Structure 1
């Protein structure tokens, strides 16, 4: 990922551009305070495209999530290292958008997954949903987002800077790359071993049948295979960075 040359000021940039620039600043080790401030003071009018266009929303919120992760890992590593990680890290304010301080949990489950709970294997609605989440949540959950979001764990997928006009191709690439590295099919035992996100968010993929179809669509399974599914363990070792080259 490289930063495009631009003569515009941060206040002239769209929120989508700001989110991408923020993520790139984390990659390059550059200051992020001005970019974070510009996102925090964006208006509802500035965010119109985020609300009205699916591709813009996907690129924007994926970049916000991944930038928020890097911010927390750099500024508050103790939250990730805590035994209460799933409360302290994922519910800590990670990035502010239009005056709303957003934790990673709210971006992922309340917005990107369309208001689905992270519990219940992806089948249950999120119990507490804020007005901000209702305003900006995506109508449908795109399961490819699970191969784009990086929460700082060793097992997480690589980080990319997403762009609205390329986001579908980028998500396909991210998904295929991650599946190629993590899925193992053994025709002899008729077992396929898959990343644990397929278990945690089984409903996002349409259950076991949907998981098999999803794997086949990315060439991770032969078209005529109907294997048993086994889920790999997840390495929660802290791994900041993890950007694609």
Structure 2
């Protein structure tokens, strides 16, 4: 009887542990086995020193065709190009990223992976008013990578946020009006620093923020991910924003956060 009870306890403990690990991975607490190289403060754009150079030209063509300069998306157009999107997603999912990839290749790969699978998720549920209306949008393992099943939340929180590059927050797009815009070109290792710089500068100086010297209203992104923007170089969120903002915020300013508009970013 004792041995039977011991076996049951071990089985239940194992099942709970495995389930907890799956939940942690889905929520983005763990990397799901993906590499998380540190970008550092002086990221450069290069295709050198990487075991893999991923061709994102198919995604680039789809973005140029179906996303306008303001980041608004033609989901009907993407539906018509679904076979091309499916082919690109299959190609991305066939890779098994490793530490032999450069940090530039990893950043471009995971940003494009997140954005492309987010478009795919919307198309799977289209028409939809908001990504928040989709059950498990960020927690379900809908992104195959090699023999792994990642969630969008896992890619963002478990991989990209651990790479010490806060500008990723302005590159990934959650298909919503208050999100940083979906860039109408693919991210690539050869242009990654310039693209992240552009995305950050455009977002901070856009209508997603109402920046003034003394009473700025800024995006909730700066509240949700506050710790990502704080470093020796920028001890506060205001210091981070002031690196890019045309209007400088005073150090004693009263900051408030804008309501987030989760409506679909549809043309």
Q: 1:171 aligns with which of 191, 196, 205?
A: 196
Matches within 5 A, 1:72-83: 72-77=121-126, 81=130
Q: 2:209 aligns with which of 183, 201, 214?
A: 183
Alpha-carbon separation, structure 2, partners of 1:36 and 1:199: 32
The Cα shift of 1:55 comes to 1.4
2:200 equivalent to 1:162: no
- What TM-score, normalized to structure 1? 0.69
**The 10-residue stretch of structure 1 (51-60 or 152-161) with the greater mean CA deviation from structure 2:** 51-60
Alpha-carbon separation, structure 2, partners of 1:73 and 1:62: 17
Q: Which has the higher strand share?
A: 1
Matches within 5 A, 1:206-245: 206=230, 209-222=235-248, 225-240=251-266
How many residues align? The count is: 195
Q: 2:89 aligns with which of 13, 36, 41?
A: 36
The Cα shift of 1:34 comes to 2.5
Query: CA-to-partner distance for each residue in 1:124-182, whole Å, 9 max, x for gaps?
Result: xxxxxxxxxxxxxx3x2x11111111111111111121111211111111111111113
Partner of 1:204: 228
The Cα shift of 1:23 comes to 5.9
Q: Does the Cα contact within 8 Å between 1:23 and 1:67 map onto a contact in 2? A: no
The 1:55–1:154 alpha-carbon spacing in structure 2 relative to 1, beyond 3 Å, is: same
Alpha-carbon separation, structure 2, partners of 1:166 and 1:82: 29
2:49 equivalent to 1:16: no
The Cα shift of 1:240 comes to 4.4
Alpha-carbon separation, structure 2, partners of 1:163 and 1:235: 29
The 1:239–1:67 alpha-carbon spacing in structure 2 relative to 1, beyond 3 Å, is: same
Unaligned runs of 5+ in 1: 1-13, 115-137
The 1:34–1:212 alpha-carbon spacing in structure 2 relative to 1, beyond 3 Å, is: same
Q: Which has the larger radius of gyration?
A: 2
Partner of 2:115: 66
Q: Does the Cα contact within 8 Å between 1:212 and 1:226 map onto a contact in 2? A: no
The Cα shift of 1:201 comes to 0.7
The 1:231–1:52 alpha-carbon spacing in structure 2 relative to 1, beyond 3 Å, is: same
Q: Which has the higher contact order (CA 8 A, sep 6+)?
A: 2
Root mean square deviation of aligned Cα? 2.8
Unaligned runs of 5+ in 2: 1-51, 66-77
The Cα shift of 1:225 comes to 4.2
Q: 1:109 aligns with which of 145, 154, 157?
A: 157
Q: Does the Cα contact within 8 Å between 1:184 and 1:194 map onto a contact in 2? A: yes
2:198 equivalent to 1:194: no
The 1:69–1:81 alpha-carbon spacing in structure 2 relative to 1, beyond 3 Å, is: same
The Cα shift of 1:78 comes to 7.7
